[in-house]
Amino acid sequence: MTSIGLRSDLVVPLGDGGRIPLLGFGTWQLRGREAYEATRWALEAGYRHIDTATGYGNEAEVGAALRDSGVPREEVFITTKMPPDHVGRERRTLEESLAKLGTDDVDLWLVHWPPGGTAGVDSWRAFIEMRERGLARAIGVSNYSLAQIDELTQATGATPAVNQIKWSPFQFDRAMLDGCRSRGVVVEGYSPFRAARLDHPVLRRIAEEHGKTPAQIIVRWHIQHRVVVIPKSARRDRIVANIDVLDFALAPDEMAALDDLGHG
């Protein structure tokens, strides 16, 4: 199986160096054996980007799946996240993540939510230090507003490489996308299906026209927007199907119709 995560047309550059695969595997709510098996299936299916978090309680299973898969560590982009209530113990949090994952570093470390609703400048300084020490190859944020991103940049001179936010055709926010891009921040979408109505008639019509499922249309829509997408499933058939999106393209009018779903 081709490892899609390594295709050069399916990666986007990160502002602080490196590249992030556009397609990744989400692991929220996967625990224990289920997390291990699903991650193994994802790696087998060709995913080369795994999204976890301290808060998901599955870093050890993700790490074990990666080791047992035989896929070399350097071929897989690993993201984890620091919970906002870990402010003040950033280094320990990252070291614990690395110990569970069984890796020397992560490719991307995110502030999971704005700590206490603030930008969390002190935490961000600690993130920068961890990047400089080589424990995180890139650092970013999640669930941040553009104003909070600007606050971090103005205070430290270091712009988050990524903002991971809820994203789907039903959440399409052109101002956020353009605002992130103009700042050099890659938009990474989460909950592509949970934030959508998979039975919406427009989505179903487009899916039928392409002989694809609504879920596949949503994943394809992200890729054509160059927005990172990290669908989660516990089911092997869906894990495989969710990235079977490279044999068709959405036409400009279809992209526009999908962009509009959030405004209908």
For position 148 contacting ligand NAP by CB under 6 A, the verdict is: no
Q: How far is the CB of 234 from ligand NAP (least distance, A)?
A: 4
Task: Give the integer Cα–Cα distance in Å for 179 and 158.
Answer: 16
Given the complex with ligand NAP, which of 239 and 250 has the nearer CB atom? 239
For position 28 contacting ligand NAP by CB under 6 A, the verdict is: yes
Given the complex with ligand NAP, which of 187 and 230 has the nearer CB atom? 230
Q: How far is the CB of 110 from ligand NAP (least distance, A)?
A: 7
The residues that bridge with 3 in the sheet, in sequence order, are none
Q: Taking a C-beta distance cutoff of 8 angstroms, is the pair 161, 211 a contact?
A: no
Runs of H (alpha helix) within the chain: 32-45, 59-69, 90-101, 121-132, 146-156, 174-182, 201-210, 214-225, 236-241, 252-259
Number of residues that bind ligand NAP (CB under 6 A): 25
Task: Give the integer Cα–Cα distance in Å for 118 and 151.
Answer: 10
Q: Is the Cα dihedral 215, 220, 225, 226 positive or negative?
A: positive
225 is in an annotated binding site: no
For position 231 contacting ligand NAP by CB under 6 A, the verdict is: yes
Number of residues that this document lists for the chain: 264
Q: How far is the CB of 177 from ligand NAP (least distance, A)?
A: 17
Task: Give the integer Cα–Cα distance in Å for 33 and 35.
Answer: 5
Name which of 228, 222, 215, 214 is nearest 255 in CA terms.
222
Q: Judged by CB under 6 A, which of 119, 230, 243, 245 binds ligand NAP?
A: 230
For position 179 contacting ligand NAP by CB under 6 A, the verdict is: no
Residue of 36, 56, 144, 190 with catalytic role: 56
Whether 56 sits among the annotated catalytic residues: the reply is: yes
Given the complex with ligand NAP, which of 56 and 98 has the nearer CB atom? 56
Residues that bind ligand NAP (CB under 6 A): 26-28, 51, 112, 142-143, 164, 190-194, 198, 213, 215, 230-235, 238, 241-242
Residues annotated catalytic, as ranges: 56
